[in-house]
Amino acid sequence: MKKFLFLAPLLISAGGGVATATRRLGPTGTHDLAWLRANGSTRLSTITAADLERVAVTELAAHNRRMNAMVSAFAVRVDKRDGVDATGQRLTGTMTEVDEYGRVRTQTTGKPGETYFPLRRYQFAAGYTADFFRKKTAKDFVGVLENAQAAHRKAVVKEIRDRIFSPSNYDFEDFLTDGKIFNVKGFYNADGILPPMGPNLEEFLGTHNHYLGFTALNAAALDAMIDGVREHNENAVVEVHVNAMQEAALLAIPNFARAQEVNVRVSVNDTVATGITDRAQNNNRFLGTYRGADVWAKPWVFSNYGYALDISDPALGIRHPDDVEDEGLRMIGQITTFPLQSDYWGAEFGIGVRRRGGAVVAQFNSPSAGTYQDPTGRTW
Give pTM, 2 decimals.
0.81
More confidently predicted of 9 and 201: 201
1 has a pLDDT exceeding 60: no
d(CA 245, CA 166): 21
d(CA 63, CA 65): 5
Compute the Cα dihedral for 172, 178, 179, 182 and give only its sign. negative
Which contiguous run of DSSP H or E holds residue 308? strand 305-310
Q: How confident is the model at residue 266 (pLDDT cuts 50, 70, 90)?
A: low
pLDDT at 264: 58
Q: What pLDDT, in 10s, does the model give residues 183-231?
A: 999 999 999 998 988 888 888 999 999 999 999 999 999 999 999 999 9
93 has a pLDDT exceeding 80: no
Q: What pLDDT, in 10s, does the model give residues 26-63?
A: 334 445 567 667 766 777 777 777 777 788 888 899 99
Phi-psi region of 113 (alpha: psi -120 to 50; beta: other; left: phi over 0): beta
13 has a pLDDT exceeding 60: no
CB atoms closer than 10 angstroms to residue 36: 26
9 has a pLDDT exceeding 50: no
19 has a pLDDT exceeding 60: no
pLDDT at 109: 67
How do the domains of the chain map onto residue ranges?
Answer: 76-87+110-130+166-380
d(CA 188, CA 198): 14
d(CA 64, CA 28): 23
Beta strands (DSSP E) in 167-290 are 170-173, 181-184, 211-213, 238-242, 257-260, 272-276, 285-290
Least confident interval from 15-19, 345-349, 352-356 = 15-19
pLDDT at 269: 58
Show the CA angle centred on residue 122, arms to residues 116 and 125, nearest 5°. Answer: 175
Percent of the chain with pLDDT over 90: 53
Residue 146 vs residues 19, 129, 344: alpha-carbon distances, Å: 17, 20, 13
363 has a pLDDT exceeding 90: yes
Helix (H, G, I), strand (E, B) or coil at 370: coil
